[in-house]
Amino acid sequence: MEQLEVYFIKNLYNEQYWSLIKILLFNFSFAHIISILLTGMSHFSPGNNWMTSKGIEHSPWIEKYSWSYYWANTIMLTVGFGDLVANSYKEAICLVFIETFSCMAFAYNINCIGTIIQQIRAKDAERSQKSKIFSKLNDKNNLSE
């Protein structure tokens, strides 16, 4: 077990992989919060909201949550398929703020992923450079294995 622990601690990429996992977990959590807001948003106009237009106003909570989570992800990824839209000005106002914060979170995540990839490439380049230096020293001094 100790060897496994040492391997994971000394692995050069664990920090970057853990950072990617944290970004993924952040996205799941952020989409969850947005889906709660989207579900709550339907209470502003009980007769005319996105749930009534989708025909799920009397469905179980899991179906409502699934659709709101789906919509949250399309908002976060700035895809916007157009199958779910605001049906009142109150929903539209809420969506403006939700979309603004979602776009900022998406841009931040893209920046973080780019930084992680850059760090991985820098470590690979450093390892390659050190390997070349070692090979040259080895060849120059005729060192045995």
CB half-sphere exposure, 144, CA atoms < 13 A: 0
Rounded to an integer, what distance in angstroms lies between the CA atom of residue 132 and that of residue 84?
A: 56
Q: CATH topology for 2-105? A: Helix Hairpins (1.10.287)
- Report residue 47 CA to chain centroid gap: 34
Neighbours of 106 (CB within 10 A): 16
Residue 15, pLDDT score: 74
Three-class secondary structure of residue 60 per DSSP: coil
- Tokens for 45? 């106009």
For residue range 45-90, list pLDDT tens digits in order.
Answer: 888 899 999 999 999 999 999 999 999 999 988 888 888 998 889 9
Domain ranges across the chain:
2-105
Statement: residue 10 has pLDDT above 70: no
Q: What pTM was computed for the model?
A: 0.74
Report the C-alpha gap between 105 and 30 in whole angstroms.
9
pLDDT tens profile 84-112: 998 889 999 999 999 999 999 999 999 99
